[in-house]
Amino acid sequence: MGSEVVEKSGGKASFDVGAAAELVEGLRGAFAAGRTRSYHWRQSQLQGLLKMTEEHEQEIADSLRADLSKPEFESFVYEAAMLKNSCRLALKELKRWMVPEKAKTSVTTFPSSAEILSEPLGVVLIISAWNYPYYLSLDPVVGAIAAGNAVVLKPSEVAPATSSLLAKLVGEYLDATCIRVVEGAVPETSALLEQKWDKIFYTGNGRVGRIIMAAAAKHLTPVVLELGGKSPAVVDSDTDLKVSCRRIIVGKWGCNNGQACVSPDYIITTKDYAPKLVDAFKHELEKFYGKNPLGSKDLSRIVNSNHFSRLSKLLDDDKVSGKVVHGGQRDESELRIEPTILLDVPRDSLIMEEEIFGPLLPILTVTKIEESFDIINSGTKPLAAYLFTNDKKLKEKFVTCVMAGGMVVNDTTVHLAVPTVPFGGVGESGMGAYHGKFSFDAFSHKKAVVYRSFMGDAALRYPPYTSLKLRL
């Protein structure tokens, strides 16, 4: 069996510190024996991951529907297809990635040659979030396997159907001596965090990110933290209004109903342009989700009642009363909130203080669009920033002045699908990056190796350090 399944309903957790230590010891043994290092092993595991996703697409979509009412389109495209693409890319490039990189040497070591060897780190822990629970759990696993590591994956308990599917499928398709799934919540994750890992890769919020980093510090374990933040979208008046609106809508409500780390969190536009933008949003939203979006099958529900209450609180804040210009309907029994737009919200309202992570979209207005740069830079650095404009100078300024993990000009979220660029945050939105070769690198140690011959053994470096040697 490749998974440690804990009792979930009030029973005593069967996975404790002792079980975690035993698990890690077993994986360390397999790693030390060299099981994960060969090209053949890595290839076979990546093929297993690909096959598992291909053969269970419907089951994956069903579990995502159970956890989030995720529309099938989103499940197939943003979870299964994205994972399959990652596997295919890694399988295609793996040999090239594994080849040591030649490096130049300096005159001081002449004659010599040098290379950078990508060495697996050892046994790594991947802790994942609930919003894209299939893709976000397994995409880092692709990098960890490609780099030749043994892996423990801890999926999110907030998406329980997908978590148990992952435990079942990984156990069936992958090498259980080196790749394991541990299901569970805080107690199980805490037991895992007591162990010494060679890397911890965490996806989730910054509060828990701090817990992860503190636990990792005890063992000097390096971390990748894939966190969130308030990702802005700046809309200039010199833009294609319809296309801009559609692309914001698809990045916001079309991505798990705004429960996505790279969804636009808020909009900044000019005071003059805002009414046009709001009208265009209303028009396009109705085309996409109809007159009764609460009943739309194309929108995910809110993941659970805690998050529903959290979002309701943002909407019920006195400081935003009267600011809703579109939507605002909620159905608590079904955990549904319709696409909601708020205009001219004060910057000290709750909705502007924390990451929204849901279907609410506030719009801030400015007199000149360049004022948006200071607004963005005065907050914590976001995971993503978006700009919509035809203005070349504005694009240049935005790209150079605005700080963010990544950015897209004239679209939202699509940088996720470009494996040749790193995906990750900066500052409070995270540290480290992955995707494509960056995933392989995130789970590798870049070992410097210098080769010398016994020829040209200069006496200069050896004692006694005479004054003549000092003058040379």
Residue 131 in contact with ligand NAD, rule: CB under 6 A? yes
Which is nearer to ligand NAD, 196 or 326 (by Cβ)?
Answer: 196
- For ligand NAD, how many residues bind (rule: CB under 6 A)? 28
Residue 413 in contact with ligand NAD, rule: CB under 6 A? no
103 Cβ contact list (under 8 Å, min separation 6): 114, 115, 116, 448
Alpha-carbon torsion 29, 30, 35, 36, what sign? Answer: negative
Q: Is 448 helix (H, G, I), strand (E, B) or coil?
A: strand
Considering only 31, 135, 197, 357, the residue that binds ligand NAD (CB under 6 A) is 357
Q: How many helices (H) and strands (E) does the chain have?
A: 17, 19
472 Cβ contact list (under 8 Å, min separation 6): 460
| Residue 178 annotated in active site | no
Instruction: Give the nearest residue (CB) to ligand NAD.
Output: 228
Select which of 4, 226, 284, 428 is catalytic. Answer: 226
Instruction: Say how far apart CA 253 and CA 173 lie, in whole Å.
Output: 34
Whether residue 191 contacts residue 16, with contact meaning beta carbons closer than 8 Å, is answered with: yes
Binding mask 372-391 for ligand NAD (x = CB under 6 A): -----------x--------
Residue 137 in contact with ligand NAD, rule: CB under 6 A? no
Residue 226 in contact with ligand NAD, rule: CB under 6 A? yes
Of the candidate spans 66-74, 129-137, 333-341, 391-399, the one that interacts with ligand NAD by CB under 6 A turns out to be 129-137
| Locus of tokens 């109705």 | 286
Give the tokens for residue 370.
């360049």
Q: Which of residues 256-275 bind ligand NAD (CB under 6 A)?
A: 261
Question: Min. distance of Cβ 298 from ligand NAD in angstroms?
Answer: 21
| Locus of tokens 């037991």 | 191
Of the candidate spans 104-112, 121-129, 385-393, 442-450, the one that interacts with ligand NAD by CB under 6 A turns out to be 121-129
Whether residue 40 contacts residue 78, with contact meaning beta carbons closer than 8 Å, is answered with: no
Count, residues in the chain: 472
Q: Which of residues 23-82 bind ligand NAD (CB under 6 A)?
A: none
Select which of 87, 178, 245, 261 is catalytic. Answer: 261
| Residue 25 annotated in active site | no
10 Å Cβ neighbour count for 190?
A: 15
Q: Is 181 helix (H, G, I), strand (E, B) or coil?
A: strand
In eight-state DSSP terms, residue 433 is -
Considering only 60, 144, 158, 178, the residue that binds ligand NAD (CB under 6 A) is 158
The vertex-78 CA angle with 75 and 84, nearest 5°, equals 100
Residue 314 in contact with ligand NAD, rule: CB under 6 A? no
In eight-state DSSP terms, residue 79 is I
Question: Min. distance of Cβ 3 from ligand NAD in angstroms?
Answer: 15
- Pairing state between β 324-326 and 340-343: antiparallel
Considering only 31, 76, 97, 130, the residue that binds ligand NAD (CB under 6 A) is 130
Question: Min. distance of Cβ 212 from ligand NAD in angstroms?
Answer: 7
Q: Which of residues 159-218 bind ligand NAD (CB under 6 A)?
A: 185-186, 189-190, 203-205, 208, 211
DSSP 340-389: EEEES--TTSHHHHS---SSEEEEEEESSTTHHHHHHHHSPPPSEEEEE-
Considering only 3, 53, 118, 128, the residue that binds ligand NAD (CB under 6 A) is 128
Residue 355 in contact with ligand NAD, rule: CB under 6 A? yes
Which residues are known catalytic residues?
226, 261
**Residues found near ligand NAD in the complex (CB under 6 A):** 127-131, 136, 154, 156-158, 185-186, 189-190, 203-205, 208, 211, 226-228, 261, 355, 357, 383, 425, 430
